[in-house]
Each structure stands twice: as structure tokens, then as C-alpha cells.
A and B are shown apart, each in its own frame.
Chain A
Amino acid sequence: MNKQFEHIEDFLEDSSFRSWVFSKGTMRSLFWETWLKDNPNKSEMFYEAKEILLALDEEEEDWDERDQIHLFTAISAQIDSPQVENTSSRISEKYTINRPRFIWLKVSMILLVMVVGAVLIGSAGLFSVEENMPKEEVAWISKYALPGEKKKVRLPDGSTVIMNSASELKYMTGFGETHRDIFLDGESFFEVAKDTVLPFRVYGGDLMTEAVGTAFNVKAFAGEGTQVKLVEGKVKVELKRVDQAEKDRVYLTRGEQAFASEEAFTKGKFDLEKALLWTEGTLSFDDIPFKEVITSLERWYGVEIAVEGKQSSLQKVSGEFHKDNLENVLKSIAYSFHFDFRIQEKQVFIQFN
């Protein structure tokens, strides 16, 4: 490099110098270390430039990576939400009343995405009452978190939901306007916006959970029973068996959970700290049978796991893995369970010895 470095500004202006100062650990290029050795007379200026940059950098506050991911998920969900592009054209052709609105909406692209949803939901709800709309016009809106992914979803009423892997949420148009009924397959954590008029109801498995403004976790994977854990506020949980008219209900306060299986409907306590670890990317097992652990791993990482060989059905797994990769998690379980494993893309083979 022939560049002259006579002033602090010369360092600051140099982008390779800046990236050297800000880079951490192994990626750091050796160029500037060498340069410093070759130019000992400029070391004072060099260090001052570095110190200025670092001081400026400390003033910066980094964006929490989780928040960043959440925001991108919200953006993706808005791009994906079908009513924005498809339904809008269909409905505006059918109901000319709406047309001026849509023309106005097209003027501002930013508003298009944000508002069309609300307008459509409102008018679809209206029409379904007044004009007996054909069934397909009352749209279901679905949100998916595929195996291996987690999603934060904002609902039209301002509530937020963190969806765990392999879960689906569904609600009908009019959500937040005429109703707040939402259907869950899988596991989700709900933070419910306050609304004294419309109760917020989650239908999952055999349970219906009703809340006004509160935070709770519902786990309702098919065939595993349904579980509601209350983190904040107060909720009513109702048992709703498809084939039975009976309506059993319990009220939960903070730290209490309801569980419905084939055999029973019970109320108990749970560990507040552990229950929500998954929303922060921590996979935790607290004395869980090996078979259930395998199911959790399949969902969490979006893989299929085949288990071969003789295994003890009595052994249970405890452990916490924060944002760890599958290989590390399997390694530490394998250590105490004595099995070999092989990961081939989305397939995992476990062989007990």
C-alpha cells in the first residue's frame, strides 16, 4: 500500500483500517499488525484512530438478533399473506363499492400491504352477514412454522404469537374486528392485546382457552394431549371433546397449567422459567422419555430420526441446549445413552449398541 498516513483522519477514512478495528478474532487480517511493526513512528496516531473508532462503536447499540429475525418473519408473513394480492383483485371486481378504496390504496405502496388486510377483513366480515357470501369467500388465514423454524406473528388485533416448530395457526377473516378466535395445531406462546369487548380464544386439541389480556402457552400436537400454561393474567380453560356434550372448565392463575389427555383433565403447577425457554431458542428437556425427546428433536431441527437397536424405555433425558446445532445435542445425549449416530442432510440414524 502506497497510501500515506499522516493524520488520524487518514486512518479513519480507510475502510480496511475500519474493518480491521471492528473485526473480531480469527477473521482479522494481518495487514495492519504488520503495518504497525513497519511504521513504529506512527503508532501513537494509529492507536488514537483505533481508540476513536472503538469509542464511537461503544455508543452504538446493536439490534438484538432475535428481534431482527422476528421482524424479518413479520415482513415475510406480510408478503406471503394471500389476501394482499389475490383476494383484493377478486373482491374489488365483485363489489364495486370497494373500488375507490382500492384505487386510493394503490397510490401508496407502503399503505397497500398494511391496510388492505384490515379493509378486506372488515368488509368480508360484513358481507358474510349481509349477503350470504359463498363459503370460499370467508377466508381462513393460516400461519405456519415449519419443522426446524420458529416464527413470531403479529395478529390483526395487536396480539403477538411466537410459534414453535411444526405448528399451524388459523383464523378467519374478521379477526380482531368481529371475533378473536384462533385455532392451533402444535405449540405457541400468546401475548394477548387487551380488548375488553372481544375475548381472545385459542382452540387447541381438546381445550379452549379464553383470555382478555394475558400471556400463555398452548401445546396441542395431535395425539399428545393438550396443555395450557399461564404466564401472566388470568384465563379460563374449557374442555371440548368432539364427541361429548360435557363442558368441563378450570380457571388458571399465573404459574398454573391445565392438561387434557384421553384419560383426564387436570390442573397443576409448572416451572415458569423453564416453560418459555423455547421462545428464546433454548431446547430443554426435564426428565423426558427418550422417545419424546426424539419427537422434539425432529420438530425443532426439521429432520427425520430413525432409531435402531435395543433401547431402554426407562431412560430419561435432562438437559438444556441454547441455540445449539443438532450434532452437538445428539453428541451429548449419545454420551449418556451409548449410541452412535449419523446425520445425512435431513435424515438422522441412531444406532444403539
Chain B
Amino acid sequence: MFSLGDLYQQVIIDHTKAPRNFGKLEPCNHDAEGYNPLCGDQLHVYLQVNDEQIIEDITFEGQGCSISTASASLMTEALKGKSLSAFQGLFDAFHAMATADMDDKPNEEVLGKLAVLAGVKEFPSRIKCATLCWHTVKSAMENAAQSARTE
């Protein structure tokens, strides 16, 4: 069984208290709003993607719980400088980790630091807190008119 300490690891507390890449990005050519109607978590992601389809810069703003804030913060660190196809790979790996069976080990080779969020799978009501930011980036990339939702 995962303990609370597995979910609220020091890295997560640290990113909650001092989120990286927090704020509006100017200029930016992709952005989207994410919303979790269940708990009211709200965030906005901003991306600057260049002609080579590389994410040159990425930031986020919003309010939410520790898991959603830390997840978004860690995500921005992970995505900066990555190509869009690398994003898709990370998206899939993150999603697989958050919804995996208890015994499955996260793919740390692909996920790197993001693997600290593996604990959420033990807390079903909190999985969406961790995945909201990823869905929001996805909809920013697709330039969706509607805000991303976890529901």
C-alpha cells in the first residue's frame, strides 16, 4: 500500500510551495485553459512553439491543490525544449503511470522526475489532479476553443 509519504514526497511539497515557470508567457503562440469541475482546480498553460515544432518555452498559471500545482510545475520543466512528438510520448507515459495497476513500476527512463507522481494511482479521487495539466497542454497544442476538462 502506498502511504501518504509516497504521494506527498518532498519534491511535490517543494513544487507546491515554489512552482516553477509560474506566470503568463509573452509572447506565446499556444495556450489553453484547464478546469476540473469536480474540485474547481483551474489552470492556464502558455506555450511558445517554434517552426521546428520544439517547445521553446512553457508556463502555467492557476489555482489548485498540491498535486495539480506540483504536476503542472514538474510538467513545464519536463517539456521545455522538447519536440511535440516527445510531448506525445511523455503524455502517454504519464497517463499510463497515473492509471497503472498498483504493482506496475513507472517507466522512469521516459518519465524521469515526473515519476514522483506515481503515487496518485493509489488515490483514485486525485488522479485527475495530476493529469489536468497534461490534458490542458494537449488542448493548447490542438488550439482547442474549449477549455480542457478532466470530466
Q: Do A and B come from one complex?
A: no
* Residues in A lying within 8 Å of B, measured CB to CB: none
